[in-house]
């Protein structure tokens, strides 16, 4: 068995995977099913051990060329750099990415019961459309004395437009995990989310960003077409954690079915980030249609226990029609935030755009976490989460839709 190279784009492996703009329903195919890249994760049942053994077996018995994340330290991993590898061991997470479309079961049988296989998912933007900045006022960010100064905030998305005039005075660290693409945002979604989380004032003097003093990091984990491989997201999470980020914001996801459990690879990445001092927030997803009484589960990775899931409300403080619900026991909505008609930065020359989605709600929460961390600089992630819950505004809406309530700035 000679697998394809890990650096090969998974979108070349399967003709059904198409650019984001071609999808009819909220950024992914309209069937509501998760889609896969054709590659697989080998999950080590015990994260502390087995890495040396799996490397030895892959190299000696299967003839694999194996790369390891430890070789990259704090530098981000782009699969182009390891295009000669057949497998990538995530030393920190206890998982291995197999760059193969072949049936992995024969390999699994040779490994006794120490491992199990999970397919790698395709990840999409979580974006809806229609009609300015009311989110900053509603969360109280415009009245806060804090700006997130000194707090490192990472947004994992489609990158960032480094030519945007509103950020010319800001130092932003950017890294691409998408093969053959730079960190420059040619889509717009990433720039929009960074604007909400950490932008400042637009050309008309209107404030649209929550944590205007935060140190921003942009990890490009989704392509210019708006979709990406799950491993790119894992690479982004570990990069942000190793680079001392205190907040990691992810406005992306994969549909989840009723009764489906959370993704173990994502959960391990989240726990690793927590161990490094970071809180992770992710979009709950836009798959629901409440007007038709259709309620879909919280998306992956937001459904992981160690990741805070964010739903969306409109200006009247009603749950957005598209916002997902806590349908599965482990996939809870933790918080709600403004996510309808959100004005923020966009790639030039457009400069600004108004969007709706749980994608827009998530960076509001990420920015508020940055404000809290400025106020409580010695706090642990769990202490910051506790403060976030204590200061949230309760709403007369079911907890499965809004969690503890509307996040409020300190």
Q: What percent of the chain has pLDDT over 90?
A: 64
pLDDT confidence tier of residue 77, bands split at 50, 70 and 90? confident
pLDDT confidence tier of residue 166, bands split at 50, 70 and 90? very high
Report the C-alpha gap between 234 and 167 in whole angstroms.
Answer: 27
Look at 206 and 159; give whichever has higher pLDDT.
Answer: 159
Last residue in a domain, options 64, 95, 121: 121
Residue 249 lies in a domain: yes
Across the range 366-372, mean pLDDT stands at 98
Q: Are residues 117 and 135 in the same domain?
A: no
pLDDT over 60 at 47, yes or no? no
* Segment 330-358, tens digit of pLDDT: 899 999 999 999 999 999 999 999 999 99
Q: Are residues 176 and 62 in the same domain?
A: no
Across the range 289-318, mean pLDDT stands at 95
Angle CA 72–53–67, to nearest 5: 25
Last residue in a domain, options 91, 121, 151: 121
Q: What is the mean pLDDT of the chain?
A: 86
Report the C-alpha gap between 284 and 256 in whole angstroms.
Answer: 10
pLDDT for res 63: 79
Look at 294 and 14; give whichever has higher pLDDT.
Answer: 294
Catalogue the E-assigned strands of 18-140.
36-44, 66-68, 87-90, 95-98, 115-125
pLDDT for res 362: 97
The number of distinct structural domains making up the chain is: 2
Residue 383 lies in a domain: yes
Residue 63 CA neighbour count, 13 Å, CB half: 6
Model pTM? 0.85
Show the tokens assigned to 255.
């549909």
Q: Which domain holds residue 19?
A: 10-121
Residue 2 lies in a domain: no
Q: Are residues 242 and 170 in the same domain?
A: yes
Q: Are residues 47 and 176 in the same domain?
A: no
Show the tokens assigned to 374.
């400025």
pLDDT over 90 at 221, yes or no? yes
Pick from 22-26, 117-121, 319-323 the range whose average pLDDT is largest: 319-323
Q: Are residues 154 and 286 in the same domain?
A: yes
Catalytic residue positions?
157, 189, 359
pLDDT confidence tier of residue 108, bands split at 50, 70 and 90? low
pLDDT confidence tier of residue 3, bands split at 50, 70 and 90? very low
Report phi then psi at 84, rounded to 5. -85, 0
Across the range 53-80, mean pLDDT stands at 81
Closest among 54, 37, 46, 38 to 89, alpha carbons compared: 54
pLDDT for res 128: 53
- Residue 275 C-alpha from the chain's centroid: 18
pLDDT over 90 at 314, yes or no? yes
pLDDT for res 201: 80
Q: Are residues 85 and 158 in the same domain?
A: no
Look at 277 and 26; give whichever has higher pLDDT.
Answer: 277
pLDDT for res 50: 64
* Segment 376-385, tens digit of pLDDT: 999 999 999 9
Q: Are residues 266 and 324 in the same domain?
A: yes
Domain of 169, CATH number, reads: 3.40.50.200
């Amino acid at each position: 068995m000679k697998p394809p190279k890990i650096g090969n784009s998974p979108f070349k492996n399967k003709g059904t995977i198409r650019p984001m703009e071609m999808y009819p329903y909220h950024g992914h195919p309209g069937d509501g099913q998760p889609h896969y890249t054709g590659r697989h994760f080998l999950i080590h049942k015990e994260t502390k051990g087995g890495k040396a053994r799996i490397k030895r077996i892959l190299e000696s018995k299967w003839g694999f060329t194996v790369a390891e994340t430890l070789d990259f330290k704090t530098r981000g991993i782009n699969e182009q750099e390891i295009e000669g590898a057949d497998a990538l061991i995530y030393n920190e997470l206890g998982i291995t990415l197999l760059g193969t479309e072949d049936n992995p079961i024969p390999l699994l049988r040779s490994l006794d019961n120490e491992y199990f296989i999970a397919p790698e998912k395709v990840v999409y933007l979580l974006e809806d459309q229609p009609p300015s900045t009311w989110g900053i006022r509603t969360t109280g960010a415009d009245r806060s004395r804090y700006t997130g100064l000194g707090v490192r905030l990472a947004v994992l998305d489609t990158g960032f437009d480094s030519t945007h005039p509103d950020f010319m005075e800001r130092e932003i660290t950017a890294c691409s995990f998408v093969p053959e693409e730079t960190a420059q945002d040619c889509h717009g979604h990433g720039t929009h989310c960074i604007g909400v989380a950490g932008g400042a004032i637009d050309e008309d003097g209107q404030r649209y960003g929550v944590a205007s003093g935060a140190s921003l990091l942009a990890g490009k984990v989704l392509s210019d077409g708006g979709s990406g491989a799950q491993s790119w997201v894992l690479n982004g999470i570990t990069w942000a954690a190793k680079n001392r980020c205190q907040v990691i914001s992810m406005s992306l996801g994969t549909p989840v079915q009723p009764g489906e459990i959370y993704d173990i690879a994502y959960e391990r990445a989240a726990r690793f980030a927590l161990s490094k001092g970071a809180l992770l927030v992710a979009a709950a997803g836009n798959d629901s249609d409440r007007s038709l009484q259709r309620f879909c589960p919280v998306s992956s990775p937001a459904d992981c226990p160690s990741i805070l899931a964010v739903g969306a409300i409109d200006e009247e403080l009603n749950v957005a029609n598209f916002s997902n619900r806590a349908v599965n026991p482990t996939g809870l909505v933790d918080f709600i935030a403004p996510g309808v008609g959100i004005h923020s930065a966009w790639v030039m020359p457009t400069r600004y755009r108004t969007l709706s989605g749980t994608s827009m709600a998530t960076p509001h929460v990420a920015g508020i976490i940055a404000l809290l961390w400025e106020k409580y600089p010695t706090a642990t992630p769990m202490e910051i989460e506790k403060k976030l819950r204590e200061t949230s505004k309760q709403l007369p809406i079911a907890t499965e839709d809004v969690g503890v309530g509307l996040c409020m700035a300190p």
